[in-house]
Amino acid sequence: MYYIGGVQVQFPFKPYPSQLGMMNHMIRALNKAQNTMIESPTGSGKSLALLCATLAWKRSHAMKQKQLLANISQIIRKFCKHNKSLIVARYAENWDSAGSAAVEAVGIDSVSGSDIKTKTENGSVDKSKAETVDKSTVVAADKLETSTADHKDSTPEACNAIQKLDGAEKPMTGTSAAFQISKKELVKSSSTPPATVLQERALISRTETVDYILDLAKSKTPDGLTDEDIAILTSYKEAGESVGHKPRIYFGTRTHKQVAQLVDELRRKTPYRLRTAVLGSRAQTCIHNRASKASKNGESVDDACRALLDEDRCAPFQSFRRLIGNKKLSAGGELEIWDLEDIVRLGKAQFACPYYAGREMAETAELVFCPYNYILDPGVREAAGIKLEDNVVILDEAHNIENAARDAGSFEITDQQLSLLAYDCSGMVDVRILIVEHRLVMVLAETLQNWLQGEEIEYEYRDYETQTSVWPKPNVSVDDLLRSLALSSEVIHRLEAAYKAIEAHIKEVRTQKERLNSTPHISSASQRLIEGLLRVLRHVGSDTRFSRDYRIAAIRYPNPELRDTHKRKRHSAVVQPFINTMCFWTMNSGVVFAEIASKARSIVLTSGTLSPLESYASELQIDFGSTLEANHVIDPKRFFAMSVECGPSGTPLEAKYKTTNLLQFQDDMGVAVAEIASKCPDGMLVFAPSYALLGKLSARWEATGHLAAIQEHKEVFFEPQGGSKDDFNDLLNRYRKHLQRDNDVGKPAQRGAVFFAVYRGKASEGIDFTDYYCRTVVNIGIPYPAFKDVKVVLKREYNDSRSYTTAVDGGALQSSPKQQPLLNGSKWYDIQAFRAINQALGRCLRHKNDWGAIIMLESRFTYPWNIARLSKWVRGHMLIYKSFNDAKHDLNAFYDFRIKEDFVSEEATEDNASVVDLTLN
């Protein structure tokens, strides 16, 4: 147990200083309800440290809240005791209008916990009346709920008073029964409220009474209270509605594999036990015999599932709640903290759907794990039932969050999808269901489809086959384009209203008992398309905060089915010559983050490679109250970082497009890599900026014999471009297998292995190359994003228009005063490249006792401004060499030293082992 930031944290190991720093930083940020960024190198035990700190804070926060509520009750009682006349005058005066009258008017039958239902005479919920309910009644319910959960905060008097009000003849049983308030009795007692009842009323009307006392305190501290009491009441008032709320923790990571690792660590290594849920995709959790195998037929599991549900044909869905009630998953059960694999196993055994069970469990869980797009994507977030209000959002491995957020705020739709949407809606018109509404959507889909397939769009070729057209253009704004497509603000509003009616219809049909005979409705796929379109049109089509942050593009490329003669024969229907796509791209990650930040209590971004941190604050358009760059846990003696200006024969190692075509460059690079491979023990990673460059180098090296020189010392593996995840994993396993040591002997493999990969590729992120799986990372070039990529071009232009300089000159920012200025386009472009490099560097050195070399075969890393863009743990240790031959000498000395150290420590381990063995004998 460690006392960090005023909170008791249970941590399974003695924390490193950097972990202590992170936990302290995290707890402080959560206490202040701040957003924060924490950069800490991979392998520094960041995720577990942050999770433990968060759970410890959650517990401590709940206790503080409980204490605060108890203190408030006590202060109110004190106030009532010493100011009887005031309290009687106040509540007797308001009793009729604010108390009984409101209760009478809205027809409350009873109030129990937070389950307040406001009903009209015919029994339906009347929201307008609900909003006029006396605040005190709501607060009373809050009080009751708190009391139910926490008897320390409820007094016997309060319970008795409420029981008296209820006038129950029979003794009440159970906590909820004890807090039933009868309308009749409330009204009866309204005419002559006794002082004691009014005092209790003051206690129950907590917020109102606190306001009243604080008002009185403006002129004089009320009798019986102290300045400290007033300070407590003030802090309660300032905390507003969040008092009493128990923040849920959403922990988002990049992939499900990382979720699984964290859940495993939480379960095995920590004592924290709380209601936990894991959100995964249907592809990971579906147990339906056919739907789960949909991908084998080229379909998505999502669509297969939705189709089954539309027709009410999934038996595991009918029984998913059975899974929720399973004892193994409840408090104290063996799977109290479960992972997707656990729930899928259990779902199979019970023939109950794990996907829907997991979603429902997440609604009441205290800790929810999910891939981070579940939080970023508004559509997925809503479908998954994620509620951000006043909760904590942690996004781990958040180095790509800026791009992921832009993707989540964007939307693309093809002409084929538009055609299906129009067809679906016309079916509804034919059967005369919500005719106006479905027709409106149908006309929209047809209009967009005709426009995409027509000849009006002036395309330009951006690459060999793809034609693109982007708005705004010099003489056509986005508004002009939308108007030409009849998408005025008014039409978009009508579409919103139409979709609401369609959505309500679908919901109603889905809840009908006799599903098989139910009324028709549009498919789930069509529903998703309308939602996606409206989500972007809401921003693009009206003068909103983000209306200037979108670009619209039309993209046309040849239909791949045309090349597939087999498919063409199979589908006798005419195959369209082109695929046409309409794209709504946001250039601003803030479109997504502004909404998250407005709801969540705190957003925490963590990664090994966030720097430069300030660019995140501007790109995401949210305020980060604090940031932390933690140190690496690895002793600098355990790694060797160097950059080299020239190759073995003196060729400058500058991997720009032109120079990489020079044979001299390719040959010198080949010699350098072969020399490093000859000395580096075990595994080695080489990263290049593109598959094209990797291909160029390998072809040349094969011809010159450099590849054979590398193969003399290492088995060679190349990361393939494209291909399936399974194929990649297979390749990676072969690499690992080759390096695996014989456990009995502990000797390295005869030859090591080298894995050639690309930055931003599969090998560069999220994969551990611990210990002998990687003793050296060689970096070739600087991986700038594709310069001519249309999205990159647009983003650079956009940042220029919103950069600090433009803001000062009174540029585009004048129309968006709420938005922060951005880094200019070229700075943004640079940062993308350096983040990718920092990610690749982090593949090696995964724990405190790991060791390795970081080698930049790139002359631009001899410049201090480029070194400054590397992660903190590397930048201070980078040695610069003019020639490869000088560098080689020091590098070899490092390898020799580490190999010797390894040998000594292995011997020591063996000696210790034999001592233990002897003792045991």
Which positions touch ligand SF4 (CB under 6 A)?
282, 286-288, 291, 305, 308-309, 314, 316-317, 353, 355-356
Assigned token pair, 147: 């009391």
Q: Which is nearer to ligand SF4, 155 or 524 (CB)?
A: 524
At its nearest, how many Å lie between ligand SF4 and the CB of residue 766? 26
At its nearest, how many Å lie between ligand SF4 and the CB of residue 289? 9
Find the distance separating the first CA and the last CA of the chain, reported in whole Å.
Answer: 36
Q: Which is nearer to ligand SF4, 521 or 714 (CB)?
A: 521
At its nearest, how many Å lie between ligand SF4 and the CB of residue 486? 38
CB atoms within 10 A of CB 185: 16
At its nearest, how many Å lie between ligand SF4 and the CB of residue 340? 12
CB atoms within 10 A of CB 24: 18
Assigned token pair, 591: 């479109």
Q: Which is nearer to ligand SF4, 294 or 554 (CB)?
A: 294
At its nearest, how many Å lie between ligand SF4 and the CB of residue 363? 17
CA nearest neighbour of 166 among 110, 127, 236, 106: 110
The amino acid that residue 152 corresponds to is: K
Within 13 Å, how many C-alpha atoms sit on residue 310's CB side? 15
Query: Helix (H, G, I), strand (E, B), or coil: what is residue 93?
Result: helix
Is the CB of residue 116 less than 8 Å from the CB of residue 141? yes
3-class secondary structure for 286-332?
CCCCCHHHHHHHCCCHHHHHHHHHHCCCCHHHHCHHHHHCCHHHCCC
Encode burial over 60-76: b for 16+ CB neighbours within 10 A, e otherwise: bbbeebbebbebbbebb
Is the CB of residue 68 less than 8 Å from the CB of residue 232? yes
Assigned token pair, 85: 């006349």
Assigned token pair, 655: 């991997």
At its nearest, how many Å lie between ligand SF4 and the CB of residue 364? 20
Look at the block and give the residue holding tokens 């390894």.
Answer: 902
Rounded alpha-carbon distances, angstroms, from residue 181 to 126, 134, 162, 184, 194: 20, 14, 7, 9, 17
At its nearest, how many Å lie between ligand SF4 and the CB of residue 366? 25
User: What values do phi and psi take at 5, rounded to 5?
Assistant: 55, 30
At its nearest, how many Å lie between ligand SF4 and the CB of residue 515? 13
CA nearest neighbour of 444 among 532, 543, 549, 574: 532
**Could you tell me which residues come within 8 angstroms of residue 219 by beta carbon, excluding any fewer than 6 positions away?**
none
Q: Which is nearer to ligand SF4, 343 or 653 (CB)?
A: 343
Radius of gyration of the chain (CA): 32
Q: Which is nearer to ligand SF4, 288 or 802 (CB)?
A: 288
At its nearest, how many Å lie between ligand SF4 and the CB of residue 339? 17
The amino acid that residue 356 corresponds to is: Y
Question: Is residue 652 packed enough to be buried (19+ CB in 10 Å), middle (13-18) or exposed (0-12)?
Answer: middle
At its nearest, how many Å lie between ligand SF4 and the CB of residue 287? 5
Residues in the chain: 921
At its nearest, how many Å lie between ligand SF4 and the CB of residue 313? 9
Gap between the Cα atoms of 637 and 643, Å rounded? 17
Our separate counts of H helices and E strands in the chain read 41, 21
At its nearest, how many Å lie between ligand SF4 and the CB of residue 530? 21
Q: Which is nearer to ligand SF4, 351 or 657 (CB)?
A: 351
Gap between the Cα atoms of 343 and 279, Å rounded? 11
At its nearest, how many Å lie between ligand SF4 and the CB of residue 357? 9
Element (H, E) at 147: helix 135-149
CA nearest neighbour of 641 among 901, 861, 903: 861
Gap between the Cα atoms of 155 and 720, Å rounded? 69
Q: Which is nearer to ligand SF4, 314 or 594 (CB)?
A: 314
Q: Which is nearer to ligand SF4, 68 or 309 (CB)?
A: 309
At its nearest, how many Å lie between ligand SF4 and the CB of residue 362? 15
CA nearest neighbour of 100 among 208, 197, 185: 185
Gap between the Cα atoms of 159 and 363, Å rounded? 30
Q: Which is nearer to ligand SF4, 282 or 505 (CB)?
A: 282
At its nearest, how many Å lie between ligand SF4 and the CB of residue 427? 23
Q: Which is nearer to ligand SF4, 338 or 356 (CB)?
A: 356
CA nearest neighbour of 108 among 76, 65, 138, 147: 138
User: What values do phi and psi take at 640, rounded to 5?
Assistant: -130, 115
Q: Which is nearer to ligand SF4, 353 or 857 (CB)?
A: 353
The conformation of residue 879, written as its DSSP 8-state character, comes to E
E-only strand ranges, 564-655:
578-586, 602-607, 626-629, 639-646
At its nearest, how many Å lie between ligand SF4 and the CB of residue 348? 10
Strand partners for 687: 757, 779
Gap between the Cα atoms of 713 and 679, Å rounded? 8
At its nearest, how many Å lie between ligand SF4 and the CB of residue 352? 8
At its nearest, how many Å lie between ligand SF4 and the CB of residue 21? 43
Gap between the Cα atoms of 421 and 425, Å rounded? 6
Q: Which is nearer to ligand SF4, 524 or 801 (CB)?
A: 524
Q: Which is nearer to ligand SF4, 380 or 429 (CB)?
A: 380
Gap between the Cα atoms of 359 and 363, Å rounded? 7
Q: Which is nearer to ligand SF4, 510 or 700 (CB)?
A: 510
Q: Which is nearer to ligand SF4, 320 or 451 (CB)?
A: 320
Gap between the Cα atoms of 165 and 197, Å rounded? 9
Q: Which is nearer to ligand SF4, 181 or 314 (CB)?
A: 314
Q: Which is nearer to ligand SF4, 56 or 343 (CB)?
A: 343
Q: Which is nearer to ligand SF4, 95 or 356 (CB)?
A: 356
Within 13 Å, how many C-alpha atoms sit on residue 16's CB side? 21
